[in-house]
Chains A and B, each alone.
Chain A
Amino acid sequence: GNSVTQMEGPVTLSEEAFLTINCTYTATGYPSLFWYVQYPGEGLQLLLKATKADDKGSNKGFEATYRKETTSFHLEKGSVQVSDSAVYFCALFYNQGGKLIFGQGTELSVKP
């Protein structure tokens, strides 16, 4: 079946460090891929997306590239800030049915 796997957290970084959160997926066909962010006590916000192979999604300094050959959608940011501390979810989506399939989430903690 379709599934998403993320790297285990928590990830703890110092401010201005480089961030990578790995995400791989198993899916048939051509899903869209998303990264969502959840700040403490809140719901999910869309961070970025990619709808086809080789697309790069980017937002707020974060970026991820849809790699069909490696079935990956790793999240990266060149210089993290304390305000980036949150839980990040990778997800895949098929338009038919409308369901999002989430990874387990990766908690990021950025220290000053």
Chain B
Amino acid sequence: GAVVSQHPSRVICKSGTSVKIECRSLDFQATTMFWYRQFPKKSLMLMATSNEGSKATYEQGVEKDKFLINHASLTLSTLTVTSAHPEDSSFYICSARDSNSRNQPQHFGDGTRLSIL
């Protein structure tokens, strides 16, 4: 079945560091990918929709200069948390849309646990 690989699975770094998270669709092409943020015991909050070859569409309240999204190819989208601070600590999950799939609208990565000290 369709697989989405998200890397790294966990990162711990100092405040002020920029962190890049990769999301790859391994066996299908994804013109659209999504980035979510999940707080403990909370639901997924859609941050942005990543479109291959064009600018990402950010949800209301999400700082686009803080969370940089690049979708340069049909199989890779990256989320960069710039100058991360402790309040950015969270679980980030990506998903990829396989437009050829009639069974699943999105395939999810395993998430990245980001901890900012």
Contacts and interface: CB of A to CB of B under 8 A. Distances in A.
**What DSSP secondary structure best describes chain B's contact surface?**
strand
Interface residues of A, number: 21
Interface in B25-67: 32, 34, 41-44, 46, 49
B108 A43 contact: yes
A100 B42 contact: no
Contact of A44 (B93, B103, B113): B93
Contacts of A45: 108
Interface residues of B, number: 22
B111 A46 contact: no
Given A43-B6, A89-B44, A105-B42, A99 B93 contact: no
A107 interface: yes
Interface in A82-100: 89, 93, 95, 98-100
A69 interface: no
B113 A41 contact: yes
14 contacts: A32-B105, A36-B108, A41-B113, A42-B111, A43-B108, A43-B109, A43-B111, A44-B44, A49-B104, A89-B44, A95-B105, A99-B34, A100-B34, A105-B42
Contacts of B70: none
Interface in B56-115: 93, 95, 97, 103-106, 108-111, 113
B110 A102 contact: no
B103 A49 contact: yes
Interface string A65-89: 0000000000000000000000001
Contact of B43 (A43, A89, A93): A89
Contacts of B42: 104-105
